[in-house]
Amino acid sequence: MTVPIFAIVGHPNKGKSSIVSTLSEDESVAISPIPGTTMENRHYPMAVDGEVIYELIDTPGFQRARAALEWMRRHARSAVDRAEIVRRFVEEHQADPAFVAECQLLTPILEGAGILYVVDGSRPFGEDYEAEMEILRWTGQPSLALINMIGESDYSGEWQKALGQYFRIVRVFDALEADFDRRVQLLLAFGEIREEWRGALKKAVHILREERARRQALSARVMAEMLAGMISHVRSSRLAPGTDINEVRAAQLQAYKQDLMVMERRCRDEVEQIYNHSNLERQEPLVQLLDEDLFSNQTWVLFGLTRKQLIATGALGGAAAGGVIDLAVHGASLLLGSGLGAVAGGVSAWLTSDRIANVKVLGHPLGGEEISVGPMRNINFPYVVLGRALLHQQIVAERTHAYRGPIEINPQLSTWQVSDAGMRRRFEKLFSRLRKQDGYREDTVSLLAELIEDQIRVPKLFESPSEP
């Protein structure tokens, strides 16, 4: 075999397809709670940049393991010819409807595939499993057992004792929650029991780590382009004679907000594509935090800089015109965007969520007037948007392809904030540059992407995983 191939085998409905989906990063793998969903072998190569680094085979579940083992025992003379007896069983029962599943799942193993035997650790051990494990041992192929915790009960202790008699390596592996490091460890473990695959699996792990770094860099670039576009965005339109300026202003401002939300959604789509997630649901109530109105008060509270950090950026000096700023006007938080009275120097226009952009009525070169909204002048805005984007990226990067529910976000997650003063100054320098220039320059976006990538690489940027 040019690349390692693993046959995922076990009882029906024990999470085999979920493990295949997670290890192959393929959301097209059919996953269903109904036993017998997988009726024939299906191959799922794990490829990076067109190079297949390993392959997984999703197999049907054992149906009549005890009857198959009984046949094999009747025909075996000694341990020496057991593998040949298994081969004979498959050859003689290919057309037998009673053993279709057994013949299907044993075929790739007899052709040289390694065995990943999957059991449900939330269900107790039974005699049927013993027959399955004995048949797999008869094949003589290297094997590894995975205890997949599907339900709430925990019988992993007794499974460890039983599986340990048949498999040299036994691991608890949750297909829905297995992070990148857990998947890598599984590949390396198999290299320990099949020496000829050790080099290929180490290479596969190296490629996967490089791919992970590439995805982080691409995600950072997409976020930087989104921020640059949002900060520098301007929406303009000509005013017809006799038009009610206030009415047009309100419509333009609403359209401007919609433009920014479209940019954010486009960024999310691209990040999900980078991680091979193309069918994520983002419209369910569980995704409320990320899909709510970008300009809602809750968003401004959950993300962005603290009041103290906003002052520390030094960016408020001009807005305050040297005046003393009351940071708790009428007892309201500066980030709430509501309940703020008049603040010296027009600071509220820079900080509150409803006053977000310059709105100008200008003379048009061809005659008449035009109304222009933008660019973004709110100092806290890019930090809010970036916090949302970083949380979304972490969720998508950690999400296994076996998990098919909508994105779920824990609202109790600690908020992202740039705690390092030097890092804040670097961010604010780039944000200020984007606010001043018409459009954005490539070098500014590249520098911003580098800063964002540094944040993405921070271990556990948000305190706890948000899903599943």
- What tens digit of pLDDT does each residue of 254-311 get? 888 889 989 988 999 999 999 999 877 754 333 344 555 566 655 655 666 666 666 6
**Shared domain check, 288 and 419:** yes
pLDDT given at position 463: 57
**Shared domain check, 442 and 320:** yes
Residue 464 placed within a domain: no
**Shared domain check, 378 and 237:** yes
Cα 150 to Cα 159: distance, rounded to the nearest angstrom: 14
Q: What is the span of the domain harbouring residue 430?
A: 216-456
Q: What is the total count of domains within the chain?
A: 2
Kindly report the pTM of this predicted structure: 0.80
pLDDT given at position 342: 27
Q: Decide: 119 and 129 in contact? Cβ < 8 Å.
A: yes
Q: What type of residue is 405? A: G
- Boundary residue ending a domain (162, 193, 224): 193
Cα 378 to Cα 350: distance, rounded to the nearest angstrom: 5
**Shared domain check, 171 and 308:** no
Q: Decide: 176 and 198 in contact? Cβ < 8 Å.
A: no
Q: Which ranges of the chain have pLDDT less than 50? A: 283-289, 315-354, 364, 411, 464-468
**Shared domain check, 34 and 119:** yes
Residue 229 placed within a domain: yes
**Shared domain check, 303 and 266:** yes
CB atoms within 10 A of CB 287: 18
pLDDT given at position 316: 43
Residue 66 contacts by C-beta under 8 Å, 6 or more apart in sequence? 127, 128, 131
Residue 202 placed within a domain: no
Kindly state the helix (H) or strand (E) to which residue 86 belongs, with its residue range. Answer: helix 82-92
**Shared domain check, 171 and 128:** yes
**Shared domain check, 131 and 84:** yes
**Shared domain check, 223 and 157:** no
Residue 260 placed within a domain: yes
Kindly state the helix (H) or strand (E) to which residue 238 belongs, with its residue range. Answer: strand 235-239
CB atoms within 10 A of CB 207: 16
Kindly state the helix (H) or strand (E) to which residue 211 belongs, with its residue range. Answer: helix 198-232
Interval 310-345: pLDDT, tens: 666 654 433 333 222 222 222 222 232 222 222 223
Q: Decide: 142 and 5 in contact? Cβ < 8 Å.
A: no
CATH number at residue 72: 3.40.50.300
pLDDT given at position 80: 92
Residue 47 placed within a domain: yes
Calculate the CA dihedral of residues 196, 201, 202, 208 and round it to 10 degrees.
170
Burial class (CB in 10 A: 0-12, 13-18, 19+), 112: exposed
**Shared domain check, 102 and 35:** yes
Residue 203 placed within a domain: no
**Shared domain check, 110 and 248:** no
Length of the chain: 468
Place of tokens 């290890």: 23
Residue 210 placed within a domain: no
- Boundary residue ending a domain (159, 193, 227): 193
Residue 461 placed within a domain: no
pLDDT given at position 380: 81
pLDDT given at position 169: 92
Q: What type of residue is 317? A: G
**Shared domain check, 263 and 162:** no
pLDDT given at position 338: 28
